[in-house]
Amino acid sequence: MGPGGNTAAGVAVKRQIKESKSQSPKKPKLAKEPWQEVAAGEAKVDGKASTSTEVNAGRVRLLKQATASAAEGAPVVYWMSRDQRSCDNWALLYAAERARQQGSPLCVVFNLVDSFLNAQARHFGFMLRGLRIVDQKLSSMGIPFFLLQGKAEETISEFVEKTGASILVMDFSPLRIGRVWREAVCKRVPPYVSVFEVDAHNVVPVWVASDKQEYGARTIRGKIHRHLPEFLVDYPPLLPPAHAWTLEKSDSIDWESLISEVTKKGAEVPEVKWCEPGEDAAMELLLGEKKGFLRTRIRNYADDRNDPAKPGGLSGLSPYLHYGQLSAQRCALEGRKVRRSYTKDIDAFLEELVIRRELADNFCYYQLHYDSLQGAYEWARNTLLAHASDKREHIYS
């Protein structure tokens, strides 16, 4: 018997699905091969991918305008949270850009909270080991990295006031807790501070891709495709700051002690050994000669990615993308370079990496009840209830 069967509940579900389809936006007309067309257009620029020298203004939003004047040469602070990398990071690049424009020093700050959405030892351990590498890379460029601990709304605002910063740059996150932090920090920072938010996580910024909750991949796909020529561009290099940090130096972080401390919580679930943390390991998994996804495993991605018996068919990049140790935009840029050889597989990869992934951000951003069944469509809730007792062909632990 198919979904819904011939029961009254099944008929109702089918009716709701039919009604929801009739009310949903019409499928936009798409280019035949949007990824190929963008690549072809970029090839006209000296045979290389288009490269942005400045951060696209559409990627940045002003959250709070300063109402007073800051001291001349006041520093720029980048509060790193969702995008934990020194390379290919639009938020960091924007902070560096503003620091150069006003002749100011630049620093990066990260706030470590006591708990975050049920994260345990394996989550904190992976994250902190990645941040240790960020600290090393930034320090080599003369950009100080500060690690704070406590409530973000308190520690970040206090740090900004202490340094006398004129600009605070934040990562974008669609989750409720991120909004609460951003709003609280904006209220607490001094009046001479302007606060900006940068979407460095999505290829097309969530507020640019759509101004509403999208019904599904089919309704957002064309909208994202239309913006690819503007936003799917290569990254400029992160340059060392022109003005050195002369304020209080960051204390040397005892990473081993910190990692040992935070990994005690939930240690009964051990950390994974197969996934090496950090942006260098992420790039190796993406492009490495021996095990790089785009070098050695992409050829079977379209056919194998949904086969649970073939875990090697997956990219393995999800942990790095989740913690912001790898840029999805970098993955897309590198993927297009081999598209001619693996068209079917690259198109499937980019569909998951960009369209489906950014649809999730769209849902969390525009649906306030994203983390409960209340946020699902009524027909979806009814379908779940109607089939709650169905026997499953396969049961996974």
Q: Which CATH number fits the domain that encloses residue 101?
A: 3.40.50.620
95 is a domain residue = yes
**Res 123: pLDDT:** 87
Residue 131 lies in a domain: yes
- Percent helix, strand and coil across the chain, each rounded to 5? 45, 10, 45
6 within domain boundaries? no
Q: pLDDT tens across 73-93, in order?
A: 999 999 999 999 999 999 999
3 state DSSP class of 147 = strand
- Cα separation, 208 vs 232, whole angstroms: 13
Alpha helices in the chain (DSSP H): 8-23, 34-42, 90-101, 121-140, 152-163, 176-188, 206-209, 217-231, 255-262, 279-287, 301-304, 318-322, 328-337, 343-350, 357-366, 378-386
* pLDDT tens figures, 234-286: 999 999 999 999 998 877 899 999 998 888 877 777 788 889 999 999 999 99
Q: Could you give the number of structural domains in the chain?
A: 1
CA distance 184 to 157: 9
DSSP three-state, residue 194: strand
Residue numbers of the chain with a pLDDT score lower than 50: 1-31, 37-49
Q: Which domain holds residue 220?
A: 35-243+255-367
pLDDT at 21: 42
Model's pTM, two decimal places? 0.87
For residue 274, the model assigns a pLDDT of: 86
47: exposed, middle or buried (Cβ count in 10 Å: 0-12, 13-18, 19+): exposed
Q: Is residue 377 part of a domain?
A: no
Half-sphere exposure of 339 (CA within 13 A, CB side): 21
pLDDT at position 330, please?
98
